Amino acid sequence: MIRAVVFDLDGVLIQTEELWDEVRAGLARDHGGPYGPEEQRAMMGMSSPEWSRYMHEHVGLPESPDEIAAEVVDRMAGRYRERLPLIDEAVEAVERLAGRWPLGVASSSNRPLIDLVLELSGLAPLFSATVSSEEVARGKPAPDVYLEACRRLGVPASSAAAVEDSHAGIASAKAAGMCVIAIPNPTYPPGDEALAGADVVLGSLAELTPAAVEGS
């Protein structure tokens, strides 16, 4: 029986994979570093310490990983304040499930960005626990961020469902032992192998109902 639901953020509630890519690519270009499809794929799902270290070591940015992360977060926050890219039906889907279960967020985004998104969207009161992968030892596809979200919600991971969109996210939630509801990101869709690991695959947030979660 499902006792809680944990949402990913980027690609599930807000369409930001392209925005992360633009911001990190812009920072790389500002410093003359390479940035292309290989770098984009490598960083998807990484925690902030992981991708900022990657940009320092592999893209060649001279700043420290902490400085790189701070600059990216600042640029992302500015873009969110200009226009928060909420995915259609995000608010409605969260409200539907919040009427039935306690909700959490398990995100690769930095803590300030998670808090800003939930504040700007008005969804903050509906989430009982939020976790950034910068607060755990390993980012997705490791299970750490989902395990911590379930711990903060006070439920075993085996009694919780995750809502995910990406290859790394699906793998992370499955490794935690959760039921996984996949809503594939249309821009960066997970592969067939990853989708095969999901318990339920939906076409959009409009299909995310309590009945769909119970069916997982």
Residues belonging to the active site: 8, 10
- Residue 129 forms beta bridges with which residues? 104
The dihedral through the CA atoms of 212, 85, 129, 133 has a sign that is positive
CA separation, residue 155 to residues 113, 120, 147, 178, 213 (Å): 25, 28, 10, 11, 16
Burial (0-12, 13-18, 19+ Cβ within 10 Å), 95: exposed
Cis peptide leading into residue 125 (ω within 30°): no
